[in-house]
Amino acid sequence: MLHGIIKREYQIPRLTDLIDISTLQQIQDWAARTAGISILIRDTDGYPVTRASMSSELCNLISGDEHTNPECRESNIKAAVLAARAGSPQKYTCYAGLTQFAAPIQIEGHLLGTIVLGDRPAEPISEDKLKELSDKFGINYEKLLETAKNAETWSDETMNSTINFLYSIANTLIGLCYQGYSLRKKVNELTVLLEISQLLISKLDLQEILDQIAQGIVKAVGVKASTIRLLSEDSVELILKSIYNLSEEYLNKGSFKLKDHPICYAAMSGEAGIIDDVCADPRFPYNKAAKKEGLCSMLCVGMKSKDRAIGTIHLYTDKPHNFTDDEIDLAQSIANQAAVVIENAKLYEESIEKQRIERELIVAGEIQAELLPDDIPDSKDIDIKAKIVPCGHLSGDLYDFIKLDDQCLGLVIADVSGKGSPGAILMATTHANIHAAADNKASPKEVIAKVNNYLCKYTRSTEYVTLFYGIVDMKNSTFTYANAGHNPPIIFRENMGVFLEQGSIPLGIMADIVCEEEQIKLLQGDAILFYTDGVTEAMNSDKDIFGIKNLMRIVQQNIDTDSQGMIEKISNEIKEFAGDTPQSDDLTLVMLKIK
């Protein structure tokens, strides 16, 4: 029947004479993945030319893994006849009850083969039909029944939506088979585009991707060499990033100003630039280097991602060449796809770098947390509790308790300038210096002076620290403190609040400051609240701040609450006040109560 359609005397070539099977397989696999359906190409005798792409388990079970079942081949031949007569894709149902489409691959009306699309039933296959297939081909019935139950049905809507796609594939193959030499060139172009598109999901770094693109476009267009330049972040320079088939010396040519090269500027606006002889044309900046490399004609195309220019690709020949419209279109097409791949690679690298920094910050935060005191020094005389809530992995706040002897306890709360790593480093430096300065029961003003002179000497002029240091002396029932520019703690006595402000300016600003200190008598029932500005400056969605009045109100309303309960009440009210507004600063609370 098939021989009645094809006139063999015309010696129509076979598909395998015109196209490399592995390349055809790649195209078919890509098309199957794109459409989400099974595709198989058969020759004029109905034998498979390619391996079935995305073939269903049911089809494989009935027709065999190689799809060489004679009944299957006969069904496809009949479908090929229908498709060839109609000259367009035709729907049919194979002998096993699976609905498929067949589209002819033809040259001037002569059939070269058939594209078979789909292998799904339009409706569940009856058990009688399955029993018939099981007996006929010796297939385990239970396995066949189970596979048929799991088979995805092929709705009319889905079937109709595939027709135009299939016909487009058929026409593409017709063109490939008819052009001969152009076929090989076209396949090479498609392969390069496919390879570049696959880079979208690769995990290669940016440089590897640039190098692959530089090599791929040379092979696709058929030129000698290529370079890729990317636009600098300030959009002023084009920076040479990759070369192919050029020397390392040429790679070191570096960048040039975009404004000085109208050809590149025009290319990034969508207009391809051509130079007939780069060794002599004054518009090309490296005439001597080009001559040394053996270059002649040049094509420059721009790369754009989301309408934003990101760079250029330059193609070079080794002899005079007139670039055709097809070559320019191909180069531009590759450049357009390359732009997406490059931007994707940049985002991937940024993501990897962000993850690395995130991991480092987490570790740094864990190390920093170890600087905080492990034990809260409660005793029969005092009740102390503390809480710190960083707004990020690293904190610029600090609190600490320094046991000076059995009766004296040093208490520190501080806030450093800056955030992130710089703030954390300054905080760690301050912490170490406080401990060193507090040795031998140095007075608060002495501690302040020593820490200040160190910071003035060894930190940057833009860095400073607000620091409150006090000594609780339970033997004498006194509290001696000095406040270096920190938010003044509040001592509550008989439910009245008094600020502890005596001291100096923040540390690290001016050397040899004179710091005043104050000593107050502690009475039973006294409560002292220490805090950082993250508490009073907490903000809600209306840009209102929590403020000192709210803070004092909570303490006064809950004055009989123990230190832990007080801190939790303050924290909860701040959280309720802020609502969904993100925390913008570290939040630290310390509560001291005299029992």
Does residue 426 share a domain with residue 334? no
Does residue 354 form part of some domain? no
Identify the pLDDT of residue 5: 26
Task: Flag the least confident range among 61-65, 92-96, 237-241, 453-457.
Answer: 61-65
Q: What is the mean pLDDT of residues 8-16?
A: 51
Does residue 325 share a domain with residue 375? no
The CA-based dihedral angle spanning residues 52, 150, 90, 62, taken in that order and rounded to the nearest 10 degrees: 60
Does residue 449 form part of some domain? yes
Length of the chain, in residues: 595
- Output DSSP code: residue 394: S
Q: What is the mean pLDDT of residues 446-456?
A: 94
Task: Flag the least confident range among 130-144, 259-273, 405-419, 481-495.
Answer: 130-144
pLDDT at 370 over 80: no
Looking at per-residue confidence, does 418 or 362 come out higher? 418
- Bridge-partner residues for 295, per DSSP? none
Does residue 568 share a domain with residue 465? yes
Does residue 393 share a domain with residue 265? no
Would you say 411 and 444 are in contact if contact means Cβ atoms under 8 Å apart? Answer: no
- Burial of 234: CB neighbours in 10 Å, binned 0-12, 13-18, 19+: exposed
Does residue 106 form part of some domain? yes
Q: Which of 179, 212, 244 is the last residue of a domain?
A: 179
Q: What is the mean pLDDT of residues 258-270?
A: 87
Does residue 184 form part of some domain? no
Identify the pLDDT of residue 6: 27
Instruction: Give the global pTM.
Output: 0.47
Does residue 481 share a domain with residue 557? yes
The token pair that represents 530 in the structure block: 């220490």
Task: Flag the least confident range among 44-53, 419-428, 492-501, 553-562.
Answer: 419-428
Identify the pLDDT of residue 329: 87
d(CA 178, CA 170): 12
d(CA 436, CA 373): 16
The CA-based dihedral angle spanning residues 342, 348, 353, 354, taken in that order and rounded to the nearest 10 degrees: 130
d(CA 311, CA 231): 5
Looking at per-residue confidence, does 61 or 524 come out higher? 524
Planar angle of CA 528, 533, 538, nearest 5 degrees? 110
Query: 226-244 pLDDT, tens per residue?
Result: 999 998 888 898 989 999 9
Does residue 308 form part of some domain? yes
Does residue 573 share a domain with residue 517? yes
pLDDT at 10 over 50: no
Does residue 393 share a domain with residue 328? no
Identify the pLDDT of residue 3: 29
Does residue 479 share a domain with residue 342? no
Identify the pLDDT of residue 185: 57
Spatial neighbors of 338 by CB under 8 A, at least 6 apart, are: 196, 213, 217, 228, 303, 313
Q: What is the mean pLDDT of residues 3-27?
A: 59
Quickly count: other Cβ atoms within 10 Å of residue 105's Cβ: 27
The total of structural domains in the chain comes to 3
pLDDT-based confidence at 32, cuts 50/70/90? confident
SS3 383: strand
Looking at per-residue confidence, does 496 or 57 come out higher? 496
Q: Which of 349, 384, 399 is the last residue of a domain?
A: 349
Does residue 317 share a domain with residue 393? no
Planar angle of CA 302, 304, 307, nearest 5 degrees? 130
Task: Flag the least confident range among 22-36, 307-321, 370-384, 470-484.
Answer: 370-384
Does residue 384 form part of some domain? yes
CATH code at 344? 3.30.450.40
Quickly count: other Cβ atoms within 10 Å of residue 14's Cβ: 14
Identify the pLDDT of residue 1: 27
Would you say 395 and 586 are in contact if contact means Cβ atoms under 8 Å apart? Answer: yes
Does residue 488 form part of some domain? yes
Does residue 375 share a domain with residue 287? no
d(CA 506, CA 446): 15
Identify the pLDDT of residue 170: 60
Structural domain of 395: 371-594
> Which one, of 391, 536, 528, lies nearest residue 470 by Cα?
528
Identify the pLDDT of residue 572: 95
Q: What are the two backbone dihedrals, phi and then psi, of residue 249, each rounded to the nearest 5 degrees?
A: -60, -40
SS3 for 263-329 is: HHHHHHCCCCEEECCCCCCCCCCCHHHHHHHCCCCEEEEEEEECCEEEEEEEEECCCCCCCCHHHHH
pLDDT at 8 over 50: no
Does residue 390 share a domain with residue 332? no
Query: 66-102 pLDDT, tens per residue?
Result: 666 777 777 777 776 777 777 777 788 877 778 778 8
pLDDT-based confidence at 541, cuts 50/70/90? very high
- Report the percent of the chain where pLDDT is more than 90: 35
Does residue 293 form part of some domain? yes
Does residue 405 share a domain with residue 481? yes
Quickly count: other Cβ atoms within 10 Å of residue 32's Cβ: 18
Identify the pLDDT of residue 412: 96
- Provide, for the chain, the percentages of residues in helix, strand and coil under a 3-state DSSP scheme, each rounded to the nearest 5: 45, 25, 30
Would you say 481 and 421 are in contact if contact means Cβ atoms under 8 Å apart? Answer: no
Please name the helix (run of DSSP H) or strand (run of DSSP E) that holds residue 412, with its range, or none. Answer: strand 408-416
Place of tokens 């595939």: 162
